[in-house]
Amino acid sequence: MFYTAETLATNSRLQRQWDSLWATRNIYNTQHNLMINQYQSVMDGETLAANQSGGFSKDFWKEVDNNIIQLRDQETGMEIVNDLMGLQTVLPIGKTAKLYNVVGDIADDVSISIDGQAPYSHDHTDYGSDGDPIPVFTAGFGVNWRHAAGLSTVGIDLVLDSQTAKMRQFNKKVVNYFLNGDASISVEGYKGQGLKNHRNTAKIDLGASGANIDLTTADLPALLAFFGFGGAFGQTAFNNKVDAYDVMWVSYEAWGNLIKPVVVSVGAGAGNSVVNGRIIDTLLPYAGVKEIRPTYALKGTEFIAYQRRKDVVTPLVGMATGVVPKPRFMPQENYNFQIMSAAGLQITRDGDGKSGVVYGAKLS
């Protein structure tokens, strides 16, 4: 959901969004020049000077766009969103939700015969449907027209500083939506849900009435039991026909436990113990997870794991994150800007109800 050289080169729909963004920016410059030409004969010299260079150059927008990318990587939890962006589905902005069919049952009467004339049915499958909304994220920031001083060097710095402050808040909302969704978002009955609470995410209760394990303190035998074939994690993977999850995100509290050294006794008496790698090194080959990563977006014993497959989980991008100027119709109007993107998250289950995404936490 970000404009980069790589995404623009590989996605034609994203390129069309980029062209539309620039068209909006060019509309502003045209409108600004029309205002100056219309009113300059009645402006005083100071007002005219403050507005004369109010149009925005390509170099200005380059700084704004670079700022979006730099700030993207500074937000806690954005590393999870970025990891999923390789699976993004780019859609027209007019799409407010992405629906998909869930294939139902069909008769299992496959006949085996010599002449090929044995009876068999000619029925068709039934379809269910599911979907996820694509909400629009918007925010604004501005610069006083006098402070901007016709967007001199000081004015540009003030714009970028204001953008930086607001982008931090904007990115927090995006990350929170991808993790937790938003209960107020609903399109055609389909709720805006995130990785943690999506109806199609498999859930593992790590509390006392569930798996009864704390990943921040569990020792290696307890972890091997949890991740193993008969454990809560291993059984969830088996039930959903997951050979291995591509990535598992854990809190830094859990990560600190996973990278503890494994101490092995090699003989009787004190001083006969040696370090034999870390817990994670012993655990990973048996865990059904290809990679475990830490994130500050998760707390305590909670975790998220998923198969990195587009038919399992995909960010829905109706508009990548961009900044456009708001029109100014009078010389004393402030320079205001709008940050906007349209994005959602789709997690699917197949016709058998299998999911490739799992969330674990103390749910009870």
Name the DSSP class of 246. S
CA distances from 36 to 149, 229, 335 (A): 15, 72, 15
Per residue in 52-95, pLDDT (tens digit) is: 665 688 888 999 999 999 999 899 999 999 999 999 999 998 88
**pTM (2 d.p.):** 0.86
Between helix 279-287 and helix 220-227 the angle, nearest 10°, is: 20
Name the DSSP class of 289. B
pLDDT at 117: 61
Angle, CA of 38, 43 and 47, to the nearest 5°: 115
pLDDT at 121: 52
pLDDT at 127: 43
- Would the CA dihedral through 116, 121, 122, 125 be positive or negative? negative
User: 207-309+354-361: which CATH number, 2.30.29, 3.30.2320, 3.30.70, 2.40.50?
Assistant: 3.30.2320
Burial letters for 115-127: b for 16+ Cβ neighbours within 10 Å, e otherwise? eeeeeeeeeeeee
Tokens 């006083």, located at residue: 144
pLDDT at 60: 87
**Cβ atoms 130, 93 nearer than 8 A:** no
**What CATH topology corresponds to 5-101+127-193+311-347?**
Major capsid protein gp5 fold (3.30.2400)
Q: What stretches in the chain show pLDDT beneath 50?
A: 104-106, 122, 124-127, 154
- Can you give the three-state secondary structure of 149-175, one letter per residue? CCCCHHHHHHHHHHHHHHHHHHHHHHH
Name the DSSP class of 144. -
CA–CA gap between residue 85 and residue 252 (Å, rounded): 23
CA–CA gap between residue 140 and residue 147 (Å, rounded): 18
* Six-digit token string for 30: 């045209």
Domain residue spans in the chain?
5-101+127-193+311-347, 207-309+354-361
CA–CA gap between residue 95 and residue 98 (Å, rounded): 7
